[in-house]
Copies of this chain bind each other. A is one copy, B any other.
Amino acid sequence: MRQRALAATVVGLVLSGGLWLAPNPRPVEAQPKAGEGPLPSWNDGSAKQAILEFVRATTDRAGPGYVPPERRVATFDQDGTTWVSHPMYTQVVFCLDRVPAVVKEKPELKDKEPFKTVLSGDRGAIARLSMKDLGVILEATMTGMSVEEFQAEVKAWLATARHPRYKRPYTELVYQPMLEVLKYLRANGYKTYIVTGGGQDFVRVYAERVYGIPPEQVVGTAGGTKYGFDKDGRPFLTKEPKLLLNDNFAGKPEGIHLMIGRRPVAAFGNSTGDREMLKYTTVQADGPRLGMLVLHDDAEREYAYGPARGLPDTKVGTFSVALDGEAKERGWTVISMKTDWKRVFAWEP
């Protein structure tokens, strides 16, 4: 019951606009210095060059690669592409953190798996949970409430949760070079989209503030909702445990068609989950296309995994040896965090 009261308070805050108007504690994005060109956090090299050349070619009205403004669609994966996804996807951390509240609401779950393991706090055991177990947790923590309640929960969590290594809010773990690419593309008439395997409703909560991307340009894994009325007769939507779009692997181009209805001309990813999106964007295209993959090879400033460690393809999706080979074959540009990025985060000294 206390949980319900809390939820009601949170919803009240949202509806009154109080929570949404809370000031952002610090700017996430570094501001460009006077005299700097575009992409100031990028070192000169083939990756930076590929972006500049692509934009030049597609915006040159007189050139053969010209793309009219309405077709300038650029899609960005999120986890590992625009922000840190290690040691665990941020959204999964959110869901695990929400388990105690869910169990308080439904005490009968306390001794049931996988909730029992999560409540134990045993990190090793939690890390060994199966995908199926994670699915149960995601469903229990992300459905059954109103859209507004969910948004308020995410917002409240983001305000207090800290990354275990960086000791900073997760929204400060966005890659400054990618924020610059987003801004540079938009300045050149591109509409930028997040196309994430993560939850659409989750990412929409902060995408506008953090990436400058409004909710309607966030495509993600999405569940159904159910229309109904609250006690005051106000219509609202309840998040249902019904999967509409699994926005990963082939689900990415399918989601892009559903939500955007145009084929992108630029796509950015970092894992096998982005492969189909990059193919859909670049293979057999009738003009210049940009496919880019972020390689996590910087254990010092971020993490090193994937081909840097000789990893094979996985179902979860990581930058694999196979994907690295495919990138070479298809002309996708690999972005080395270590070599291509002058700095990774806005707050670096």
Contacts and interface: CB of A to CB of B under 8 A. Distances in A.
A235 B279 contact: yes
Contacts of A225: 254, 257-258
B15 A286 contact: yes
A260 B215 CA distance: 7
A259 B262 CA distance: 14
Contacts of A218: 261
Contacts of A224: 254
Contacts of A296: none
A276 B234 contact: no
A250 interface: yes
Nearest to A234: B284
B237 A283 contact: no
Contact of A233 (B276, B280, B284): B284
Nearest to A223: B258
24 contacts: A16-B286, A17-B286, A70-B208, A70-B214, A200-B261, A204-B261, A215-B262, A216-B216, A216-B259, A218-B261, A222-B258, A225-B257, A226-B250, A227-B250, A227-B276, A232-B284, A233-B284, A234-B283, A234-B284, A235-B253, A235-B276, A235-B279, A235-B284, A244-B245
A217 to B, nearest CB: 8
A147 interface: yes
Contacts of A227: 250, 253-254, 276, 280
Interface residues of A, number: 41
A215 B259 CA distance: 9
Interface string A8-51: 00000001110000000000000000000000000000000000
A211 B284 CA distance: 31
Most B CB within 10 A of own CB, among A216, A245, A276: A216
Interface string A90-110: 000000000000000000000
Contacts of A276: 227, 235
Interface string A292-304: 0000000000000
B253 A237 contact: yes
Interface in A212-251: 214-216, 218, 222, 224-227, 232-235, 237, 244-245, 250
Nearest to A224: B254
